[in-house]
């Protein structure tokens, strides 16, 4: 098990994770990042025409080991 921290970057600015989670594999980290991005997409993106959210994953030493992002773009064609 290793401890990972998930820092969020969205339209509200950065949010730093100070607690982290103990996860056993890269696959578990990827599942957690996916859960975070999907939850944010459901809760935040429908009110925006364009939005980009990203999650930077840090290990226990503070090194960024993964960056994931999700882009939402809605354009009305009238």
pTM for this structure? 0.87
Find the domain containing 38 and state its range: 2-73
Residue 63: inside a domain: yes
Domain count, the chain: 1
Residue 78: inside a domain: no
Q: In the predicted model, what is the mean pLDDT of residues 46-66?
A: 89
3-state secondary structure (DSSP) of residue 19: coil
pLDDT tens profile 12-53? 789 999 999 999 999 999 999 999 999 988 877 666 678 889
Place of tokens 């339209």: 11
pLDDT of residue 48: 61
């Amino acid at each position: 098990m290793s401890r990972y921290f998930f820092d969020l970057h969205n339209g509200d600015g950065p949010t730093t994770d100070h607690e982290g989670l103990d996860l056993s594999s890269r696959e578990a980290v990827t599942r957690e990042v996916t859960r975070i991005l999907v939850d944010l997409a459901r809760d935040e993106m429908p009110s925006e025409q364009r939005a980009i959210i990203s999650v930077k994953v840090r290990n226990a030493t503070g090194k960024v080991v993964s960056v994931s992002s999700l882009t939402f773009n809605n354009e009305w064609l009238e």
